[in-house]
Amino acid sequence: MVHQIKFLKLIVLFAIMALFVFLSFTLKGNVETNLLKTILPSDIAASTDIIPIADKSASVIKVVFETDAVQNLDALKDSFISSVDKSYFEINKPDVSNLLNQYLSHPANFLSDSARELLKNEKYDEVYTRSLQALYNPAALQLTSMDKDPYLFVDDFILSRSKMFQSVNSINDRYYDFISLKIKNKEGLSPDLSNKKIAEIVELQKKLTNSSSKIYLAGSPVHSYTTSTNSVVSINIICFLSTLLIAIMTYYYFRSIKVLIPIAASIIFGMLAGYVATKLWFDNFQIITMVFSTTLIGIGIDYSYHYCFSDKFDKTFIKNLSLSLFTTIVPFALLYLTGIELLKQIAVFTVFGLSAIYLFVVIFYPCFDFPKPEKSINFPQKMYKITLIIFVILSAAGYVRLHFNDSLTALYTPSKKLLHAEKLFNEVSGDFSQNTQFITIKGNSLEEILEKEEKVSEDLVKKNIDYLALSKFVPSGARQEENFELVKELYSQNLDNFKGFLTAGQISRLKKQTFARVDFDIENYPYLSDFILTPGTSLILVFSPENINVNESFAAVVNVQQDIAKYMKKYREILFAIFPFVFLTLIFIVLYGLKKNIKLLLPPVLGIFCATGLSSLIFGELNLFSFIALYLVLGFTMDYSIFRAGGSRHVEDAIFISALTTAFSFLLLSLTGFKLLGSISLVLFCGILVSYMAGFLILNDKNLNSMVQ
C-alpha cells in the first residue's frame, strides 16, 4: 500500500511537470538564441550599450545577390523579393531618391568634410579648380545644373558618402547587389516561428542559387538559426548515443534491460525538474542550456548505478549519496555567482535536476525490485598506469603553451560559409568592417543629437578616421546654416569666375538666395533610422583598428569585442581567486578526517591538472568557460573518491560505469561544433577520465574501507 501511494505521488508529479513543460513551449516557447546575451554577464548587459548594439543587427538578415551578367541581377533580386513573406520581413534597400531630392533642392546646405575645410580656410581658388575638374570629368555625377550648384557641392557631398548611393557593384567580373530583411516585431515572435521563417529564407536561397547566380545570407538571425538548428541535432544525437551506451552497459552487468525503466524515469524526472525550475527562475530559456542539459544523463545516472551496485540501502549509503550530491552541486552553484546568464541557467538546471534525481533514488527506488549484478570487470592496473603516464606527459607539454584568450573568437567561430557571406556583404555594401567600433551619442532631441555627432565627427576627420553616422547624411539645422553661410561667402568672393558658364542674372540670383533649413523625418528613411540605437541615443560607426577616445560627457566608445574580453577576464580572475577556497571547503566538509580528505582530493586535483594541460595542447588557449569547467571536474570526480571511501563490494564497477557514461556524454558534447561548449566539454572529458584512473590507482587498496568513521 505504501509503495502504491508513492507511485501515485510520482505519477502526479510527472504529470504536473510534463504539463508545465508542454504549456511553456506551446504558449510561450521563448527560447533565447542570441549568442551575445548568452555569454554576457547580466549586470554588464543591463548597464552598457553592448546588448542594444547587438540587438540592432539581431533582427536583420543581410542578403547579397551575385550574377555573372549585370542584366540578370535585377531578375534574381526580384525573384527573391517576390517570394519573401512580407508579413514577417520588411525589405530594406536604401532608397536614396528622397534624400537626393532634399540635397538637390538646397545644394548650399550640404558640404563634404573636405569642402567645408577648404571654405573655412577661404581656399576659394582651390574650390573653383576642383569644381572645374569635376565639371569636365566625363565620369562625374553632375546631378545638378550649373545655375543651381555651380561648384557641384551636391556631387561632392554624395561621392564622399557610403556605397548606399551605388546601385550595383562589380568585383572580379561578377555583379553584386544587396538588400536587408528586417524581421517585423521580433520581440513578439516566438523563436520557433522566427526560425521557421528564417528556414524558408534559407530554402529560397538554395532554390535560386545556381552556377551563374548566387545568393548569400549573413547577419545575426542566420547565425542564431544555424547554431540553434545544429544544437537540436546535437541534442538528439547525444541523447541517442548516451542512452545506447547506458543500455549496453546495463545489459552487460545485469543481463536485463528492465533496470533501465526506473533509471530512465529518474533521469526524465530530473530533466523535467531542472527545466521547470529554470523556466520559473528566468524569463528566457537559453538554447545552449538545452544542449548542456543532455549531460544530466551522464551525471544523474551515477546515483542509479551506485544504488544498483550497493550491497544494501542503509544510512551509510544515503550518507555517501548525499555527500556525493553536495560535492557536485556546490561547484555548479558557484557558477551562479559569475552573473553570466548561460552559467546561471546551467547552475539552476543542474542543481535542481540532480537534486530531483537524488530524491527519486532515495524515495522511490526502494519500491523497485532491482536485479543483482551478474558481471564484474577486472581492471588492469598496468594499462591504467601507462595511460595515466601518457596523459601527464602530454599535459605537461600543454602547459608550455598555456595562455588565456578572453575574446569573442574564443567562444564562437562562424562557419567558413557564413564568414564569407559576412565579408562579402561588408565589401558590397560598404557598411561595416572588421575594425568597427561604436560611439553612442546621448541627446534630448534629434537636433541636439546631430549637433553632438558633428562635434565628435570633426575630431574623427582631423585624425583621418573613417566613420559612418546619421549626421553624415542629415546635417543639423545649425550645420546647414553654417554651410550656407560658407557657400554664400564663396559666391561673393569667387562666383564671378563662372561668367563663362552663367548669365549675370543667374549669378545675381545665386548671390541673393536666402537660407532655408531642410528638415528630415528619419522614420521615412529606414537606412537612416538604423543609426538610432534607442530613443535619445544615436550610433556612430567608426572604422579604425586603433582604440579611439572621446572626451565628451555625452559620448561613449563601445568596442564590443574588447569590452566583452575585459569582462570575461574580470570574471575569470574572480573564479581563479576563489578556486583555492573551494578546495579548502571540500577538505573540511568531507566526513573522513583531514588527512584522508586530502588523499581523496588527489585524483580530482590530478584530473584538473591534466585537463588544463591537454586543453591547452589541443586548443592552444583557454577561456573563461574552460576554466569554469575545472570547477565541474572537481564536483564530478569527488563523487568517485567518496564512493570508493564508502567501500561497497561492487563500488569499482559502479564508478567505472558512472565515469564512462559521464565522460562519454561530454566527449559527444565537445564534438557539437559550438566552440564555447567544446572548450567546456573537452576539459570535463579529460578531467573525468584522468581522475577516474588516478583514483583507481591511488585509492584502490585493501585498507580503503577503514577510512569510514
CA distance 222 to 220: 5
Q: What is the pLDDT of residue 401?
A: 83
pLDDT of 123 > 90? The answer is yes
Q: What is the pLDDT of residue 264?
A: 82
From 514, 538, 518, 549, select the one nearest 451 (Cα to Cα).
538
Contacts of 589 (CB under 8 A, 6+ apart): 326
Q: What is the pLDDT of residue 166?
A: 54
Average pLDDT over all residues of the chain:
79
Judge whether 496 lies within some domain: yes
Instruction: Please check whether residues 465 and 531 belong to one and the same domain.
Output: yes
pLDDT of 482 > 90? The answer is yes
Tens of pLDDT, residue by residue over 329-380, are 877 787 787 777 777 888 888 888 888 898 888 888 887 777 777 767 666 7
Q: What is the average per-residue pLDDT within 637-645?
A: 81
Judge whether 138 lies within some domain: yes
- pLDDT band at residue 709, thresholds of 50, 70 and 90? very low
Q: What is the pLDDT of residue 35?
A: 57
Its pTM surpasses 0.85 = no
Q: Which run of H or E residues covers position 504?
A: helix 504-512
- pLDDT band at residue 589, thresholds of 50, 70 and 90? low
Contact between 559 and 440 under an 8 Å Cβ cutoff? The reply is no
Judge whether 285 lies within some domain: no
From 592, 708, 643, select the one nearest 325 (Cα to Cα).
643
CA distance 392 to 384: 12
Q: What is the pLDDT of residue 162?
A: 56
CA distance 219 to 114: 33
Q: Cα angle vertex 521, ends 515, 523, to 5°?
A: 165
Q: What is the pLDDT of residue 708?
A: 44
Judge whether 286 lies within some domain: no
Residue where the block lists cell 541523447:
239
Of 529, 558, 587, at which residue does a domain stop? Answer: 558
Quote the number of domains for the chain: 2
Instruction: Please check whether residues 453 and 502 belong to one and the same domain.
Output: no
More confident residue, 496 or 11: 496
Contact between 36 and 221 under an 8 Å Cβ cutoff? The reply is no
Judge whether 85 lies within some domain: no
Instruction: Please check whether residues 515 and 439 belong to one and the same domain.
Output: no
Q: What is the pLDDT of residue 703?
A: 45
Instruction: Please check whether residues 111 and 148 belong to one and the same domain.
Output: yes
pLDDT of 290 > 80? The answer is no
Instruction: Please check whether residues 468 and 538 belong to one and the same domain.
Output: yes
From 38, 585, 687, select the one nearest 329 (Cα to Cα).
585
Instruction: Please check whether residues 507 and 554 belong to one and the same domain.
Output: no
Residue % of the chain over a pLDDT of 70? 80
Q: Give SS3 for 441.
A: strand
Q: What is the pLDDT of residue 329?
A: 83
Give the side-chain half-sphere CA count within 13 A for 157: 26
CA distance 663 to 653: 15
Instruction: Please check whether residues 530 and 460 belong to one and the same domain.
Output: yes
CA distance 503 to 150: 12
Judge whether 486 lies within some domain: yes
- pLDDT band at residue 284, thresholds of 50, 70 and 90? confident
Judge whether 440 lies within some domain: yes
Contact between 412 and 418 under an 8 Å Cβ cutoff? The reply is no
- Mean pLDDT lowest for which of 36-40, 84-88, 374-378, 560-564? 36-40
Burial-class residue 628 by CB neighbours within 10 Å (0-12, 13-18, 19+). Answer: buried
Instruction: Please check whether residues 463 and 533 belong to one and the same domain.
Output: yes
Instruction: Please check whether residues 483 and 461 belong to one and the same domain.
Output: no
What value does the CA radius of gyration of the chain take, rounded to a whole number of Å? 33
More confident residue, 291 or 263: 263
Domain of residue 160, residue span: 94-165+478-519
- Mean pLDDT lowest for which of 14-18, 88-92, 196-200, 654-658? 14-18
Judge whether 443 lies within some domain: yes
CA distance 647 to 159: 81
- Mean pLDDT lowest for which of 73-82, 216-225, 639-648, 654-663? 639-648
The backbone region for 536, taken as left when phi is positive above 0, alpha when psi lies in -120 to 50, beta otherwise, is left
* Burial letters 546-577, b for 16+ CB under 10 A, else e: eebebeeebbebbbbeebbbebbbebbeebee
| Count helices and strands in the chain by DSSP H and E runs | 28, 12
Q: How far is CA 28 from the centre of its chain?
A: 22
Instruction: Please check whether residues 510 and 525 belong to one and the same domain.
Output: no
Q: What is the pLDDT of residue 706?
A: 46
Q: What is the average per-residue pLDDT within 615-637?
A: 81
Sign of the CA dihedral running 240, 244, 245, 247: positive
More confident residue, 139 or 59: 59
Q: What is the pLDDT of residue 96?
A: 65
Instruction: Please check whether residues 108 and 151 belong to one and the same domain.
Output: yes
Contacts of 599 (CB under 8 A, 6+ apart): 698, 699
Tens of pLDDT, residue by residue over 420-475, are 888 888 777 765 445 678 888 999 988 999 999 999 988 888 888 888 888 888 89
Tens of pLDDT, residue by residue over 51-85, are 677 666 667 888 889 998 888 888 898 899 888 88
Instruction: Please check whether residues 456 and 534 belong to one and the same domain.
Output: yes
Q: What is the pLDDT of residue 126?
A: 92
- pLDDT band at residue 188, thresholds of 50, 70 and 90? very low
